[in-house]
Chain A
Amino acid sequence: MTELELPPIDYAAIAPILIMLSAAVVGVLVEAFVPRRLRHPVQLPLALLAVLAALTMVVVNADKRVITIGVIAVDGPTLFLQGAILALSAVALLLLGERVVERGGAFVAQAAVTADSPEDRRQAENAGGAGEVYPLTTFAIGGMLIFVSANDLLTMFIALEVFSLPLYLLCALARRRRLLSQEAAMKYFLLGAYASAFFLFGLALIYGFTAGLGDRVAGVDFATVNAAVANSTASPVLLFAGMALVAIGLLFKAAAAPFHVWTPDVYQGAPTPLTGFMAACTKVAAFGALLRVFHVAFEGARWDFTPVLGAVAVLTMLVGALFAVTQTDIKRLLAYSSIANAGYLLVGVLAPGSGGLSGTMFYLVAYGFTVLAAFAVVTLVRDADGEATHLSRWAGLGRRSPVYAAVFTFVLLAFAGIPMTSGFTSKFAVFGPALDGGQVWLVIAGVLTSMVLAFPYLRVVVLMWLSEPGDATPTVAVPGGLTSAALVIGVLATLVLGVAPDPLLDLASSAADFVR
Chain B
Amino acid sequence: MYKWVIIGVLALALTGTAFWGYNERQEKNDIKMQAENNYQRSFHELTYRIDMLHDKIGSTLAMNSRDSLSPQLAEIWRLSSEAHTDVGQLPLALLPFEKTEKFLTNIGDFTYKTAVRDLDKEPLSEEEMQRLEKLHDNAGQIKDELRNVQNTVLGDNLHWTDVELALTDDNPDHSDNTIISSFKTVEDTSGGFSDEKDFNNGALPASNEEHKFEGVTGERINQKQAKTVAAKAFDLNTISGIKGGKSGKGSDVPLYSLSYQKEGESGYADISQKGGHILTLMMQRDREEPKLGLHDAQQKAQDFLEEQKLTEMEMVQSSQYDSVGIFFFVPVQNDVRIYADIVQVKVALDNGDILGYNARDYFMNHHERDLQKPKLTEEQATEKLNQNVKVQETHLALIENDTHEETLVYEIMGTRNDDETYRIYVNADTGKEEEIEKQTTTEARFLQST
A binds B: no
